[in-house]
């Protein structure tokens, strides 16, 4: 992440079956906590990347998403390793997708563009 107002806090990765893995990535932007969940399944139409904002009510509120059909073809079958030489492993690819969704949302969603000014 190149934006100095964004801090990556932590992430949780999991894999269950061949072609099915998930990354939950948490960020701080100004005083707010955001989460991107990227879930890769064998089917592009059921794969998702979702950005949520943690609210004062201690709940996650949907902010934006990126359909799996727009990025699934860049993900390898396995989460822990690459399919071919020169490819990145699946979790590295999901990190790139999560960071891109957050960056894009910070510049296009008015509610989030204000967060960077609070830091």
pLDDT at 3: 58
The answer to whether residue 9 scores a pLDDT higher than 60 is: yes
For residue 27, the Cα-to-chain-centroid distance in whole angstroms is: 10
Give the pLDDT confidence of 106-117 residue by residue, as tens digits: 888 877 776 655
The answer to whether residue 62 scores a pLDDT higher than 90 is: yes
Q: Give the separation between CA 68 and CA 110, rounded to whole angstroms.
A: 24
**Stretch 11-36: mean pLDDT:** 89
Return the number of other C-beta atoms located less than 10 Å from residue 20's C-beta: 17
Give the pLDDT confidence of 65-107 residue by residue, as tens digits: 999 999 999 888 776 664 555 667 888 899 999 999 999 998 8
């Amino acid at each position: 992440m190149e934006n100095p107002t964004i801090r990556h806090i932590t992430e949780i990765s999991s894999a269950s079956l061949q072609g099915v893995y998930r990354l939950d990535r948490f960020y701080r932007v100004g005083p707010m906590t955001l989460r991107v969940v990227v879930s890769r399944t064998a089917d592009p139409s059921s794969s998702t990347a979702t950005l949520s904002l943690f609210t004062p009510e201690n709940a996650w509120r949907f902010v934006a998403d990126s359909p799996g059909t727009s990025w699934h073809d860049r993900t390898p079958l396995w989460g822990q390793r690459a399919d071919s030489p020169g490819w990145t492993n699946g979790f590295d690819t999901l990190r790139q997708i999560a960071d891109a969704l957050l960056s894009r949302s910070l510049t296009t969603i008015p509610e989030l563009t204000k967060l960077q000014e609070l830091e």
